[in-house]
């Protein structure tokens, strides 16, 4: 299993980096939409929508929402980011609600229709804003300063930085938890996560965030703001990870799927990312780096 996981990671990692750095945003948005919608398909299964037709209809409705947002964002000057920003803000606010949901573990766990409705709404609030945020961070012509970016590679590097913060935090938490983990973080939801692991993830995410920002050309005076956004991004990514674990606990599932050899489902790989992206985008825009 370990060999399979490593081989899958060696394929996925470089492919993702190359796509982020060199694909135009329209292609990056299409690939991300496909990946996120596959993750949503798995989310719907965890929400106990067993009927394939029902899941297909719900998936197409979310796809239609993405298309409508894109169509409505057209303007005479090209692309207006306002709608994408609003949806990203709604997504970031949703993860605060999700944190409260984690506190009340048993909420919507009784397999009733009303519980499914809450989880369906949660899926849309997680996936669509994350996609909007990804598009804005990667955007070929929109920057946090509201201007045009001459060096597209550097602009695309911001998306890689956001993702690398999450990836580094995940790895840092794993190794720190293995080496020093003593105090459980959320034993009822994810017994293997520890406070020490969280601290290791925070340090790793912070270091990678600062390094990515330096490569992207952030000024020395903005490092404090970047550090704050990096730490906040890590914390929210943990909420995303825990929330998916909560969904799996409610239905007794180990993984969200089996699409990726040795890694489970797509949602297992993007649960932290979908929470982190709206927060990273908003922090970057508010603090102006």
Q: What is the mean pLDDT of residues 262-282?
A: 90
40 within 8 A of 62, measured Cβ to Cβ: yes
More confident residue, 259 or 173: 173
Q: Can you give the pLDDT at residue 148?
A: 39
Label residue 11 by pLDDT band (50, 70, 90): low
What's the pLDDT score for residue 168? 96
The candidate with the shortest Cα–Cα distance to 230, out of 241, 218, 242, 246, is 218
Per the structure block, which two tokens stand in for 156?
A: 């695309």
Report the distance separating Cα 124 and Cα 129, nearest Å: 8
Helix, strand, coil abundance in the chain, percent, nearest 5: 75, 5, 20
What is the structure's pLDDT at 80? 87
pLDDT tens track for 190-245: 999 999 999 999 999 999 999 999 998 898 999 999 999 999 999 999 999 999 99
Number of domains in the chain: 1
Rg (CA), the chain: 18
In 3D space, the residue among 66, 119, 125, 127 whose CA is nearest the CA of residue 96 turns out to be 125
Burial class (CB in 10 A: 0-12, 13-18, 19+), 179: exposed
CA distance 77 to 82: 13
Average pLDDT, the chain: 88
Query: With 60 as the cut, is the pLDDT of residue 142 above it?
Result: no
Range of the domain at 133: 2-287
> Does residue 103 or residue 152 have the better pLDDT?
103
Q: Which has the higher per-residue pLDDT, 283 or 288?
A: 283
SS3 assignment, position 219: coil
Question: In this structure, how many other beta carbons lie within 10 angstroms of the beta carbon of residue 219?
Answer: 11
- Supply the pLDDT for residue 12: 67
User: Cα separation of 196 and 180, whole Å?
Assistant: 6
User: 3-class DSSP state for residue 93?
Assistant: helix
Determine the pLDDT at residue 141: 53
Instruction: Identify the pLDDT of residue 7.
Output: 55
What are the CA-CA distances from residue 57 to residues 54, 61, 128, 236, 285 (Å)? 5, 6, 16, 30, 35
pLDDT attached to residue 140: 58
Q: What residue has token string 């798995």?
A: 42
What pLDDT, on the 0 to 100 scale, is given for residue 288?
83
CB 122 within 8 A of CB 94: yes
Q: For residue 173, what pLDDT is reported?
A: 95
């Amino acid at each position: 299993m370990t060999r399979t996981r490593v081989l899958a990671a060696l394929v996925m990692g470089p492919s993702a980096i190359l796509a982020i750095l060199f694909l135009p945003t329209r292609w990056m948005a299409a690939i991300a939409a496909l990946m996120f919608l596959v993750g949503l398909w798995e989310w719907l299964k965890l929400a106990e929508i067993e009927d394939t037709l029902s899941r297909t209809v719900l998936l197409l409705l979310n796809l239609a929402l993405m298309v409508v947002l894109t169509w409505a964002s057209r303007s005479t000057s090209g692309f207006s980011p306002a709608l994408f920003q609003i949806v990203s803000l709604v997504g970031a606010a949703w993860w605060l609600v999700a944190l409260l949901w984690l506190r009340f573990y048993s909420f919507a766990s009784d397999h009733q229709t009303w519980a499914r409705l809450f989880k369906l709404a949660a899926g849309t609030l997680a996936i669509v804003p994350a996609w909007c945020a990804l598009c804005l961070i990667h955007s070929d012509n929109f920057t946090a300063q509201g201007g045009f970016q001459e060096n597209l590679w550097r602009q695309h590097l911001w998306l890689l930085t956001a993702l690398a913060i999450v990836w580094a935090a995940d790895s840092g938490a794993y190794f720190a938890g293995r080496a020093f983990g003593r105090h459980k973080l959320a034993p009822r939801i994810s017994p293997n996560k520890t406070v020490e692991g969280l601290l290791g993830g925070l340090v790793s995410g912070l270091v990678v965030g600062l390094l990515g920002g330096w490569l992207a050309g952030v000024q020395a005076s903005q490092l404090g703001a970047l550090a704050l956004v990096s730490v906040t991004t890590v914390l929210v990514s943990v909420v995303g990870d825990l929330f998916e674990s909560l969904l799996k606990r409610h239905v007794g599932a180990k993984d969200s799927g089996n699409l990726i050899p040795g890694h489970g489902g797509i949602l297992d790989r993007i649960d932290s990312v979908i929470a982190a992206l709206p927060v990273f985008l908003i922090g970057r825009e508010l603090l102006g780096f």
